[in-house]
Amino acid sequence: MLADYGYIGLFLVAALLFAVSMLLIPIALKFIKIVPQKPSPTKNSIFECGMETIGKTWVQFNFRYYFYALVFIILDVLVVFLYPWAVNLRELGYSGLIVALILIAIVVVGYLYAWRKKALEWK
Amino acid sequence: MIANFGLDLERYWSALPPELPPDWPGGFWWHWLVFTIIIIAFVLGLVMGFIWLERRGMARMQARLGPNRVGPLGLLQPVADAIKVLLKEDIVPDKADKIVHWLAPVVAFAPVLMIFAVIPFQNGALLADLNIGILYVVAISSVSTLGIFMAGWASSNKYSLLAAMRDVAAVVSYEIPVVLALVGVVLLAGSLSLNEIVKAQQIPFILLQPLGFLLFFIGGSAEINRSPFDLLEADSELVAGFHTEFSGMKFAMFYLAEYAEALFLSAIIATLFLAGWRGPLLPPWLWFLIKIIGVFFVIIWIRTTVPRVRIDQLMALAWKFLFPLALINLIITAIQVLAWPEALPWAMIPVNIAIMATLVLLWSKLFKLGWGRVEV
């Protein structure tokens, strides 16, 4: 089992190396003058349909998925509990099913409350 | 005659190819080296094939010709594109966050490659047969969203930032129905390992889990931002979305990651719902390849057919349509796993298809997905 995770770790290294080396090829080609490098202020400005950009981009602004994120966390925890249950359902039998149904029911009450309170509307 | 043929088909179907030993071909390091090369070659090769297939297929569906100059039938067009993009100037905006701008393509692409470590190409032929395979896939597939958000944020471009925010919102919403739809598969198979799930598919799970398949397909398409859910690169609203400020090889990495994600979705659907490498007569890896290309063709087909949704419709679809149906599907599957008589697995197919049709029709009558104007 541990060997399998060793494969995953080594493969992560290989994947990162592959991605980084793909980005390094043009940098290497730049030194032998195949890839051009002629920066200018206009070229290096930000493209927003030809308009000059106004103010900074990194400001706080109200993007509306805050409530979604909160509901997501609750439901994600539910799902994490459901996976081991799903693997072992045949051994757990009906009692396991009923326990899981109670857990789902508790979360669904919260979900319906969020729906009623219009937390799931995009506005 | 017909009964005979059915028996033959069943024998062909249930005959598993011999399982390869865990560290085939010989030794830890050889196994790692061979499969790393296989996976990278598989991903790059199929991504190029997919780009060609999508451009030619879409052109065909839209009564155009598509790329047909480079090589026979335009087959070398992806290669020409790759060389072109390699030789392009790398432009980084002055105001951009340079380090994050450089890291974003790596963070977006590497996790997509990681997913293929647990996908079986044949019985036992995979890099690492993790006993938590599906959980691993679900966890790793969400990481590339981080790369997309890094790209949008580092560009210092307002449209890019908005696109990245939209992507995070979409992934957060669609994660739940996708993961819940997968629980149905886990219930039927009784295992999280992808190879075990393929072995458990005496009947392909698309027939036993039609509703789960539908939910997973819709949710998966939304998570990898395929049209009709490609709001983060809605050209008419956001210039080119999160990769507006990327050029040359960095842009190519995002392009590659996008198609690699489409490939991963096709491979996961082929493995979990279409019985993976199983099939009569042809060698198992060829069956797997055929199924992947078939699923990807359906994805292209949907792209050319359905118009892009609006963001409030996208959210409503996830939270009010897919999530409740995924919960109902989960409960029904759990009851069926416990109560269905073992001798009659085939009888489950018409019952489940009927349940799917009823639920989808009923639920779409219950409420409207916010047509008309958006309240602001």
pLDDT tens-digit series, residues B168-221 = 888 888 888 999 999 989 988 888 888 888 888 888 888 888 999 999 999 999
Q: What is the largest CA-CA distance in chain A?
A: 71
| Helix (H/G/I), strand (E/B), else coil: B370 | coil
How many Cα atoms occupy the beta-carbon half-sphere of B349 within 13 Å?
Answer: 9
DSSP state of B63: T
Closest-CA residue of chain B to A38: B89
d(CA B325, CA B340): 21
The answer to whether the CB of B205 falls within 8 A of the CB of B272 is yes
- B2 in contact with chain A, both atoms CB, cutoff 8 A: no
Higher pLDDT, B43 or A30: B43
Q: Any idea where the domains of chain B sit in the sequence? A: 2-366
**Structure confidence at residue B371 (pLDDT):** 54
d(CA B280, CA B344): 23
**Structure confidence at residue B298 (pLDDT):** 92
The answer to whether the CB of A86 falls within 8 A of the CB of B186 is yes
User: Helix, strand, coil % (nearest 5) of chain B?
Assistant: 70, 0, 30
Which among B95, B179, B250 has CB closest to A46?
Answer: B95
Shortest Cα distance from A111 to chain B (angstroms)?
10
Of all helices (H) and strands (E), which one includes residue B189? helix B158-189
The set of residues, in sequence order, having a beta carbon less than 8 Å from that of A93 and lying 6+ positions away, is: B338
- A50 in contact with chain B, both atoms CB, cutoff 8 A: no
d(CA B175, CA B112): 16
Cβ–Cβ gap A46/B93 under 8 Å: yes
pLDDT category at B292 given cuts 50, 70, 90 is very high
d(CA B254, CA B108): 7
Judged against a pLDDT cut of 70, whether residue B260 lies above it is answered with yes
pLDDT digits (tens, 9 = 90+) for B331-361: 998 888 888 777 777 788 888 888 888 888 8
**Which residues of chain A are under the pLDDT cut of 70?**
62-64, 122-123
The owner of tokens 């793909």 is A22
* Residues counted in chain A: 123
Write the single-letter amino acid at B36.
Answer: T
| Helix (H/G/I), strand (E/B), else coil: B275 | coil
**Structure confidence at residue A55 (pLDDT):** 72
| Helix (H/G/I), strand (E/B), else coil: B22 | coil
With 0-12 CB in 10 A as exposed, 13-18 as middle and 19+ as buried, what is B158? buried
- A52 in contact with chain B, both atoms CB, cutoff 8 A: no
- A73 in contact with chain B, both atoms CB, cutoff 8 A: no
d(CA A55, CA B155): 14
pLDDT category at B1 given cuts 50, 70, 90 is very low
- How far from the centroid of its chain's Cα atoms is residue B289's Cα? 14
Calculate mean pLDDT across residues B49-62.
90
Judged against a pLDDT cut of 50, whether residue B3 lies above it is answered with no
Judged against a pLDDT cut of 80, whether residue B23 lies above it is answered with no
What does chain A look like in DSSP terms, one character per residue? Answer: -HHHHHHHHHHHHHHHHHHHHHHHHHHHHHHTTSS-----TTTTS--BTTBPP-S-S------TTHHHHHHHHHHHHHHHHHHHHHHTHHHHHHHHHHHHHHHHHHHHHHHHHHHHTTTTS--
- B250 in contact with chain A, both atoms CB, cutoff 8 A: yes
Residues of B whose CB is below 8 A from A68: 169, 172-173, 315, 319
Beta bridge partners of A48: A51
Closest-CA residue of chain A to B162: A63
- B251 in contact with chain A, both atoms CB, cutoff 8 A: no
CA angle B310, B316, B318 (to 5 degrees): 105
Q: Which of B182, B348, B365, B190 is nearest to B271 (CA)?
A: B182
Gyration radius (Cα) of chain B, Å: 22
Beta bridge partners of A51: A48
Calculate mean pLDDT across residues B61-80.
86
Judged against a pLDDT cut of 50, whether residue B256 lies above it is answered with yes
Judged against a pLDDT cut of 70, whether residue B370 lies above it is answered with no
Q: What is the largest CA-CA distance in chain B?
A: 74
Provide ipTM, 2 decimals: 0.86
Domains and CATH numbers, chain A: 2-116 (1.20.58.1610)
DSSP state of B116: G
Residues of B whose CB is below 8 A from A57: 95, 156-158, 161
The dihedral through the CA atoms of B4, B6, B9, B15 has a sign that is: negative
Q: Which of B104, B112, B106, B96 is nearest to B42 (CA)?
A: B112
- B33 in contact with chain A, both atoms CB, cutoff 8 A: no
Beta bridge partners of B128: none
Q: Which of B97, B258, B235, B257 is nearest to A46 (CA)?
A: B97
Beta bridge partners of B125: B122
d(CA B336, CA A90): 11
Shortest Cα distance from A1 to chain B (angstroms)?
7
**Percent of chain B scoring above 90 in pLDDT:** 10
| A–B interface: beta-carbon pairs under 8 A | 202
Judged against a pLDDT cut of 50, whether residue B376 lies above it is answered with no
Global pTM value: 0.88
Task: State the average pLDDT for chain B.
Answer: 83
The owner of tokens 């409530």 is A67
Shortest Cα distance from B4 to chain A (angstroms)?
34
Write the single-letter amino acid at B79.
Answer: V
